[in-house]
Homo-oligomer: A and B are copies of this chain.
Amino acid sequence: MASQALPERETGVGAIHALPSPYLLFLGDTVEPGYAKTAFGLRDWAGDRCLGEWSLPAATVSTGLPRLTPAEAAAQGARSMIIGVASPGGAIPVSWMPELIAALDAGLDLVAGMHVLLTSITPLRELAARRGRRLIDLRVPPPSLPVANGRKRTGRRLLTVGTDCALGKKYTALAIARGLVERGVDATFRASGQTGIMIAGQGIALDAVVADFASGAAELLSPDADADHLDVIEGQGSLYHPAYAPVSLALLHGSQPDLFVVCHQPGREAVLGFPGYPLPSIETVIERTVLLGQLTNPAIRCVGISLNTAGMTEDEAEQLIAATSARLGLPVADPIRGGPAFQRLLDACQA
């Protein structure tokens, strides 16, 4: 869609990160599948943009994608190599360097979302400059972000919000966007975190943006669109989080969502890492999100609930989903379990 077109390079005011694809996924020397969540997420959610994987001989983890050297991937049309694994401590091991260099030599850009920046590694920075290649650190926001203007944009928007961090806001947004597209709805997943950006191929890591520009960055994420287009925006943090609420508020104000889905993990009793802060109820989060969201979209409303029922039996999950839906009078589903409950949630998003 023309209105959704993004600049190839992040020059000028108002560009968001846009990743060159298709990708080659790099798995380093990873032996622990838990460290390769990003690579698995890319395989599952952006498989059409992943040409293959590459790793060191010591690696035992695999996505099952074709194994290609950087040169082979480039010959098949790959445009970037994405570091799809975390390393213990967040550093880039020296053992990875020959492969990162080989990727640049083969004509690929490098993409990473690690705390250690690719651009902080002198040999990579110098080689990339010589080869005319890009080092894209997703934890570094694009330059020249604007201050929010508060102007109402065309098209429709849905934001996933949460009772806390790390309970399924990204997954829920991805599942809703995919489910709607499968129904023929004109919907786009919009990424506000680094893994989401790799999956979407574009986006801004909202938590890394300077506070004055955070709402403006959120506005950029879901630009003007056709009247029946729906942007499904990945939420961050929670309005009840003692550290990250400002990020959540920036996303809420800048996204100006028409609809929101509250994501919750049953059984979690306190904010993750903040034992003195009890988790808010779903009802409280609905009320607070409407109250604050009305600033930029007076028509904001909750369209349903996403429950993360990992660890529950099928029966337990079904009962909890039904009970929560009856209590709130809203569609409730676990997108990972899918089923009729999730279809009812999609019905509501589509209505």
Do A148 and B216 touch (CB < 8 A)?
Answer: no
Residues of A within 8 A of B (CB): 147-151, 206-212, 214-216, 240, 242-247, 249-250, 253, 274, 276-277, 291, 295-296
A236 to chain B, nearest CB (A): 9
A287 to chain B, nearest CB (A): 10
Most chain B C-beta atoms within 10 Å of own C-beta, residue among A207, A244, A253 = A244
**CA–CA, A243 and B145, complex, Å:** 12
Do B207 and A211 touch (CB < 8 A)?
Answer: yes
Most chain B C-beta atoms within 10 Å of own C-beta, residue among A149, A212, A274 = A212
Minimal Cβ-Cβ distance residue in B for A209: B211
Do A215 and B246 touch (CB < 8 A)?
Answer: yes
Do A210 and B207 touch (CB < 8 A)?
Answer: yes
Do B212 and A210 touch (CB < 8 A)?
Answer: no
Question: Knowing A148-B243, A242-B295, A246-B250 touch, does A212 contact B216 (C-beta < 8 A)?
Answer: no
A346 to chain B, nearest CB (A): 31
**CA–CA, A242 and B295, complex, Å:** 7
Please, which residues of chain B bring their CB within 8 A of the CB of A249? 245-246, 249
Which of B212, B216, B291 interacts with A247 by CB under 8 Å?
B212
List, sorted by A's number, 12 A–B pairs whose CB atoms are closer than 8 Å.
A148-B243, A150-B242, A151-B276, A206-B211, A208-B210, A209-B210, A210-B211, A211-B247, A214-B246, A215-B243, A242-B296, A246-B249
